[in-house]
Chains A and B, each alone.
Chain A
């Protein structure tokens, strides 16, 4: 058996191929301006017994017969994280343009969720813009912040646009760029953790999505919530993995 899970996000597209037991292939590419074409390229020349699409482009994929079924990224993350960590109870996913908190039942089903998609604060986009303001690339931002000697500088602006000019003026005032970077992370962590508290959280706590690649974010979340945080080896494919597993479940007639 071979199934495919396709997660078309606003920033990246992830594909996972699943044989019922293992991940056979995984890919992550930038979404760009033609997500359908990118997805078709990823899946070209392959035959799948079933495929499931998730993410913002899920209906696009299904209408164009790239997938025979769609699930939301909420469910996809729950299924994927449950596969990687069977004892998962809370998932925090911070992606490029939204973030979500999912409470999972012991059997892996979604119990409750909350999403932030109204503004860029609290998403990967915020970090990207701040990295730019600090003249760093996004991979450097987390390690750079971890080198700060003391506490982070407190940012007063939540809005991405205002925070960017605040960062510029902090640097201009001679603040240490490591401390500023730490303050940037702290600001987004505060925001995200407020949502986590609202939904409620229990161990095991899984942190996924592109922003989970950032080591500083993980440390600060652990510190803020006082709970160990597990990051999957490949945090960007959790949704695609969930979709691929869902495709296999659909084949075997298993519910969820």
Chain B
């Protein structure tokens, strides 16, 4: 059965390699450069701290003079190593993250002086316990409150930020001053600002940048050791966009991807959509648009940690209850990006996103009147052809 399944439209992706609105080669080359640069930074005394989630307070890491690096596992190859210790029926992102850590296959994990986790979902928080028990790394877990509209949540998160601040100060013998925190807030604001500028380019009709190219940029840039340089690179690519070479035409179907995070290695749904001649115009997920709009007012004179605590409680992630902001964000993105249909991706065994799909479906279908597709899958390639049928059928519904 497998052998006669042929991808739909590889030719379209190949033919126009030269004629792109943006140059992704710079970011492609970061793949090896990032590791080298991190090793160099480490050798000259820099600290590196691994993060697993958008809730990780990167401003504190920057203010401690350390380099923040995202360690979320997006590759299938690390999963067998994880399944030696973890149940099979677990989110592939949790398994991949753990597998990369214990197998020593991830240079970024190896280079990290410590990693920070949060009590987001059950899978992650129990995985961190096991990771810690392996004694391979300093694993620091933060207690993330889960009812963001409740005032005590900001209080709890604020005290967790203070606890981390003390910990980093002692561990790395640094003084995290308010001035340093404000500088870190500024850098983080800037990074979100330029990212949003880049992502917003796709509000254009026709779409300028394919979902795959956008993913390459946002994913690779996350491993850059120098955030200021990263900001410069993102702004440069956004400013240099060539509008004469859009990624599609006015008839290309414009799809919004929401749900669980996607990275290089776990991009199969984006690939399938774009092989079927539609485009992922925007992603609401982590790594995409989820928190690019969350800015801290740099002129507000109150405790910078409190400003941070408030910001983080606004991230519209499914681990929060209720999570109405995600629905509002999806509706706003549908309008801003002229979306024709929404795909909601759930990694297998991710209960929070899986359940929340009910609300997303209602908002997309009933309130916005658009076709909606919920996909539940993992990192393996075994279901690619059945996913392709679903995706093609979903695209046929758009007319």
CB contact list, A49-81 vs B, under 8 A: 56-57, 59-60, 63, 70-75
CB of A142 within 8 Å of the partner chain: no
CA of A54 to CA of B218, assembled, Å: 37
A59-B5, A59-B6, A63-B6 known; A115+B396 contact, CB < 8 A: no
- In the assembled complex, the CB of B389 is this many whole angstroms from the nearest CB of chain A, namely 5
A36 interface contact, C-beta 8 A: yes
B399 A60 Cβ-Cβ under 8 A: no
Contact A72–B7 (Cβ < 8 Å): no
Q: Is the CB of A255 within 8 A of B399?
A: yes
Which residues of the other chain, B, contact A255 by a CB distance below 8 angstroms?
399
Cα A23 to Cα B386 in complex, Å, equals: 30
Knowing A59-B6, A59-B7, A115-B386, say if A71 contacts B1 (CB, 8 Å). Answer: no
- Which residue of A109, A115, A118 is within 8 Å of B397 (Cβ)? A109
Contact status of A59 and B397, CB under 8 A, knowing A115-B386, A117-B386: no
The reply to whether A109 and B8 form a contact with Cβ atoms under 8 Å apart is: no
A18 within 8 A of B: no
Say whether B6 contacts A256, CB under 8 Å: no
Residue from the list A63, A110, A117 in contact with B396, Cβ < 8 A: A110
B390: A residues at CB distance < 8 A: 115
Q: Which residues of B contact A59 (CB under 8 A)?
A: 5-8
In the complex, A19 Cα to B383 Cα: how many Å? 37
Q: B385: CB under 8 A from chain A?
A: yes
CA A75 – CA B394 in complex, angstroms? 10
CA A10 – CA B1 in complex, angstroms?
7
Give, as a whole number of angstroms, the nearest-CB distance from B121 to chain A: 23
Q: Which residues of B contact A209 (CB under 8 A)?
A: none
Binary per-residue interface labels of chain B (96-135) against chain A in the complex, 1 for a CB within 8 Å, 0 otherwise: 0000000000000000000000000000000000000000
Q: Say which size band chain B's interface belongs to.
A: 10 to 19
Q: Does A113 contact B (CB under 8 A)?
A: yes
In the complex, B12 has a CB within 8 A of chain A: no
Q: Mark A72-92, 1 if CB is under 8 A from B, else 0.
A: 111100000000000000000
User: Chain A contacts of B6 at CB under 8 A?
Assistant: 59-60, 63
Q: Give the residues in chain B near A256, CB-CB below 8 Å.
A: 399
Q: Name the residue of chain A whose CB is nearest to the CB of B6.
A: A59
Which residues of the partner chain B approach A115 to less than 8 Å between Cβ atoms?
386, 389-390
Whether A35 pairs with B399 at a CB distance below 8 angstroms is: no
Instruction: Tell whether, in the assembled complex, residue B7 and residue A71 are in contact, meaning their CB atoms are under 8 Å apart.
Output: no
Interface centre among B4, B383, B390 (most CB of A within 10 A): B4
User: Do A56 and B393 have beta carbons less than 8 Å apart?
Assistant: no
How many Å from the CB of B92 to the closest CB on chain A?
A: 16
Interface centre among B8, B385, B393 (most CB of A within 10 A): B393
Cβ of B392 within 8 Å of any chain A Cβ, yes or no, is yes
CB distance from A105 to the nearest CB of B (A): 10
A35 to B6, CA, bound (A): 13
Residue-wise, chain A 148-190 has the 8 Å CB interface mask toward B (1 for contact) of 0000000000000000000000000000000000000000000
Which of A57, A74, A255 has the most chain B CB atoms closer than 10 A to its own CB? A74
A113 and B399 contact, CB distance less than 8 A: no
User: How distant is the Cα of A63 from the Cα of B396 in the complex, in angstroms?
Assistant: 20
Closest-CB distance, B62 to chain A (whole angstroms): 45
Contact with A along B374-395 (1 / 0, CB 8 A): 0000000001011001101100
Q: How far is the CB of B377 from chain A (nearest CB, A)?
A: 10
Residues of A within 8 A of B5 (CB): 56-57, 59-60
Question: B399–A72 contact, CB under 8 A?
Answer: no
In the complex, are the beta carbons of A56 and B385 less than 8 A apart? yes
Chain B residue with the shortest CB-CB distance to A98: B386
Set of chain A residues within 8 Å of B393, measured between Cβ atoms: 72, 74-75, 110, 113
How many whole Å from A138's CB to the nearest CB in chain B?
A: 20
Interface centre among B385, B389, B390, B397 (most CB of A within 10 A): B389
- In the complex, what's the smallest C-beta–C-beta distance from B234 to chain A, in angstroms? 37
Residues from chain A with a CB closer than 8 A to the CB of B383 are 118
Query: A110 touching B397 by the CB < 8 A rule?
Result: yes
Closest to A117 in B: B386
Interface positions, chain B 345-399, Cβ under 8 Å from A, are: 383, 385-386, 389-390, 392-393, 396-397, 399
For A36, the closest partner residue in chain B by CB is B4
| Cα separation A109 to B393 with both chains bound (whole Å) | 11
Q: Residue of A at shortest CB range from B391?
A: A72
Bound Cα distance A94, B10 (Å): 31
Please state if A72 and B389 are interface contacts (CB–CB under 8 Å).
yes
Known: A110-B396, A255-B399, A256-B399. A74 touches B4 (CB 8 A): no
A36 contacts which chain B residues (CB < 8 A)?
4
Residue in A63, A73, A109, A118 whose CB lies within 8 Å of B389: A73
Given the complex, which residues of A lie within 8 Å of B392, measured CB to CB? 72
**Residues of the B chain whose Cβ atoms lie less than 8 Å from the Cβ of A74:** 389, 393, 396
Which residues from A are CB-within-8-Å of B399? 109, 255-256
How far apart sit A63 and B3, CA to CA, in the bound complex (Å)?
14
- 26 A-B contacts, Cβ less than 8 Å apart? A10-B1, A35-B4, A36-B4, A56-B1, A56-B4, A57-B5, A59-B6, A59-B8, A60-B6, A63-B6, A70-B8, A71-B396, A72-B393, A73-B389, A74-B389, A74-B393, A74-B396, A75-B393, A75-B396, A110-B393, A110-B397, A115-B386, A115-B390, A117-B386, A118-B383, A255-B399
Nearest 5 interchain pairs by C-beta? A74-B393, A60-B4, A72-B393, A59-B6, A117-B386
16 further interface pairs, Cβ-Cβ under 8 Å (given A57-B4, A72-B389): A56-B5, A56-B385, A57-B5, A59-B6, A59-B7, A59-B8, A60-B4, A60-B6, A71-B396, A72-B392, A72-B393, A109-B399, A110-B396, A117-B386, A118-B383, A256-B399
